Amino acid sequence: MEPRTETALSANALKVLEKRYLGKNAEGKVTETPEIMFRRVANAIAAVNTNPSEREFLAEEYYRFVSSLDFLPNSPTLMNAGRPLGQLSACFVLPVGDSMPEIFDTVKATALIHQTGGGTGFSFSRLRQKGAVVRSTGGQASGPVSFMTVFNASTGAVSQGGTRRGANMGILRVDHPDILEFIDCKLDQTQVTNFNISVAITDEFMAAVKENRNYDLIAPHSNEVVDSIPARMVFDRIAKNAWANGEPGLFFIDTANRYNPTPSRWTYEATNPCGEQVLGPYESCNLGSINLERHTKVDSRGEAVIDWEKLARSVYLGVRFLDNVVDANRFPIKELSEINQGARRIGLGIMGFARLLMLLGIPYDSEEGLEMAEKIMAFIQEEAEKTSLDLAKVHGPYPFFEGIGSPKRNSHLLTIAPTGTISMIADTSSGCEPEFSIIWYKNVMDGTHLPYTLEMFEHVARKEGFWSEELPARIVENHGSCRGLSQVPEKWQRVFATAHDVAPEWHVRMQAAFQKSIDAAVSKTINMPELASVSDVENAYMLAYSLGCKGITVYRDGSRSNQVLNLTTQKKEGAGPLPNWGQRRSPGDVTRGVRVKITGKSGKSYVHLYFDEEKRPIEIFVTPAADHRERESAILFGRLGSLALQFGAPVEEVVGQFIKSHEEAGKLGSDPYAIAKAIGTILSREGLTGENGMVIEVACPSCGGQVAFLEGCLKCMGSEKTGGSCGWSQC
């Protein structure tokens, strides 16, 4: 397959840049072009070089590097380089000590970091457990989870660099006495909403799980054993919660510390919000990603192959660019500057890996795909090590170097970070993830939106003779995938894999393949189908641990559908006037009824929605299963809903009340919410939008587009309505 060579920014990339990256004046009008932005960044990063000729040369090289989309740095660098703010790091870890002054000093530092565009990770493992005596006051400690709510509230009040709300990672050791409360703290998704959470898993705990025995809970302030509980019970609890809503993740803390090059300085306790950066206290990481899709060439047979010479040059420039970022960075507190100058950690990674495999004709979920991941990352590792060693010969090794390994300029070199918005700018796939879909929607000049098929898929389909005008619609109906469509040859079904085509085992194995050559870690979501079991989650955990991954995040399709809920209304053309409230209309002869099976917190039920002769919803019946724990309440929901409809309440108002009761009670998977979702499903299936155009869907809160859970975070994918992603991300 022939690679593309153009470097022009797509319409969607321009929209993302205008919304989040390009400079604006006091009235909010965009004052930068992409070219000016790239030049601003290149000049600012090259400016730290003291030799004038070298500075001028690197400024031009860096400009070419980023403007060609061969490489892009993390968002704070694009936003802040060459501007007064000057904070260029994506992620930080801050220490949380076991005293009020230490805790609130960290809250203050967190707010300052979020204000400059960074995300923060914390270990709450040093805080004494709930109920422990506080000697200074004689009172009782409230425990780690209570203090997470303090950080959560602070985050909610601060925007990241004026562009988005801050993101946090909260981590607690599995042997902390409050671990069960922590594991359950996000079952109520109205709480600690600005946190992702992960459990720090020890080797001792994993051994206890395998041996089906108890393990010790240890008080952090006294180091005393306070209890011993079944490891399998805790493991099952983690897996069940992750199955339910994707959290907590796992952080294999002992695995990470085996690769710590500065053990006399710190022991790793926490990661950044997406889990791929294991950082010491006050350490940050400066990230950038090479676009692998743009590192191919055509061989003598007319086939795409990797351009290894170009890739080597890009690794060299990427390391030099990010090493310069360490010096160009302006941090909001002095501890950050001191630690980051001492460790000089950088995180060079990749994006566009899925697109590269497609160009090469290699299925993502194949042994050949794993081999290519290992081969590429081993090559990048070798070239990065060479560059950092050469820089150390000129400038000296990083100041915290303790004689472990080679005397490099940087303590860490490689990572695979989330590339949600920068991969949109580069118009390629995210990180090392498979494609989410091979169909998007594109704005055209008359304001309509047309399906946009992945260019290389359409090229192959036309060349191989299986393209048709109906094919995009069939792919959309097939959840964005071509697998299982008889029109598409088996070979190309395999090559053009999407995230939900890939079995969980292959997701884990791909993460492990990259991890082999990476000194930090890999941001990767282990996607699972909706019908996956808790055992499937546990098997993924065991496989990730055995293969040497430093962490794992699983996401079962549909499990967070209640997290971002959008109710919109729009007058439906052709509908008659609504009856006045207080005038009950008889159901009369209903013309049609539709049934949907649901599962709520109390058990399984069937929801029946009946329509009158004008296709208006008129009756709701809820039929609970025999073992339903709240049968009377379930039936009552339907009867009251029916009564409201017959007195003229719009269906969206009725459903809105179901949803509000769910939100106010804060119950995960509640019966009212399940009923509301079922009604929305029925209306969608019937081609209706409710009496006033109600739509119930998981949606981007910024633009209303489709959201997906990728790289450990909910991200906007765009939609037909929005014409592409707006760049929103929950992290």
Residues 6 or more apart whose Cβ sits within 8 Å of residue 128: 98, 134, 141, 143, 219, 220, 221
Mean pLDDT of the chain: 87
Confidence of residue 569 (pLDDT cuts 50, 70, 90): very low
Inter-residue long-range contacts of 100-106, CB under 8 Å, 24+ positions, other chains counted:
103/127, 103/147, 103/150, 106/151
Q: Stretch 339-348: mean pLDDT, rounded?
A: 98
Q: Decide which of 537 and 602 is more confident.
A: 537
Q: What is the pLDDT of residue 688?
A: 59
Structural tokens at position 544: 């990730």
* Omega of the bond leading into 144 within 30 degrees of 0 (cis): no
Encode burial over 367-379: b for 16+ CB neighbours within 10 A, e otherwise.
eebbebbbebbeb
Q: What is the pLDDT of residue 621?
A: 85
Q: Decide which of 580 and 241 is more confident.
A: 241
- The Cα–Cα gap between 272 and 118 comes to 10
pLDDT tens-digit readout, 412-445: 999 999 998 899 999 999 999 999 899 866 554 4
Total Cβ atoms within 10 A of residue 222? 10
**Based on the domain organization, do 611 and 679 belong to the same domain?**
yes
Residue 309 carries which DSSP code?
A: H
Active-site residue identified among 12, 272, 291, 329: 272
Q: What is the pLDDT of residue 321?
A: 98
**Based on the domain organization, do 257 and 374 belong to the same domain?**
no
Q: Is 652 a catalytic residue?
A: no
**Based on the domain organization, do 277 and 412 belong to the same domain?**
yes
Residue 726 lies in a domain: no
Q: Decide which of 253 and 165 is more confident.
A: 253
Residue 637 lies in a domain: yes
* pLDDT at residue 162 tops 60: no
Ramachandran assignment for 548, one of left (phi > 0), alpha (psi -120 to 50 degrees), beta (any other): left
Residue 527 lies in a domain: no
**Based on the domain organization, do 52 and 98 belong to the same domain?**
no
Per the structure, the count of domains in the chain is 3
Instruction: Give the CATH number, domain containing residue 298.
Output: 3.20.70.20
Residue pointed to by tokens 């950082």: 279
**Based on the domain organization, do 247 and 125 belong to the same domain?**
yes
* pLDDT at residue 585 tops 80: no
- Picking from 518, 97, 545, 168, the residue whose alpha carbon sits closest to that of residue 345 is 518
pLDDT > 70 fraction of the chain, expressed in percent and rounded: 85
- Picking from 674, 717, 698, 661, the residue whose alpha carbon sits closest to that of residue 565 is 698
Residues 6 or more apart whose Cβ sits within 8 Å of residue 640: none
* pLDDT at residue 361 tops 80: yes
pLDDT tens-digit readout, 286-327: 999 999 999 999 999 989 999 999 999 999 999 999 999 999
Q: Is 272 a catalytic residue?
A: yes
pLDDT > 90 fraction of the chain, expressed in percent and rounded: 62
Active-site residue identified among 91, 185, 274, 285: 274
* pLDDT at residue 180 tops 50: yes
**Based on the domain organization, do 308 and 399 belong to the same domain?**
yes
Residue 731 lies in a domain: no
Element holding 156 (H helix, E strand)? helix 144-156
| Domain residue limits at 204 | 91-271
**Based on the domain organization, do 295 and 365 belong to the same domain?**
yes
Q: Is 402 a catalytic residue?
A: no
Final residue before a domain boundary, out of 232, 255, 271 = 271
Q: Stretch 640-668: mean pLDDT, rounded?
A: 74
Active-site residue identified among 276, 283, 435, 711: 276
- Ranking 296-310, 565-579, 696-710 by mean pLDDT, the lowest is 565-579
Confidence of residue 463 (pLDDT cuts 50, 70, 90): very high
- The Cα–Cα gap between 672 and 602 comes to 11
pLDDT tens-digit readout, 164-179: 567 899 999 999 999 9
* pLDDT at residue 58 tops 80: yes
Residue 415 lies in a domain: yes
Final residue before a domain boundary, out of 426, 453, 482 = 426
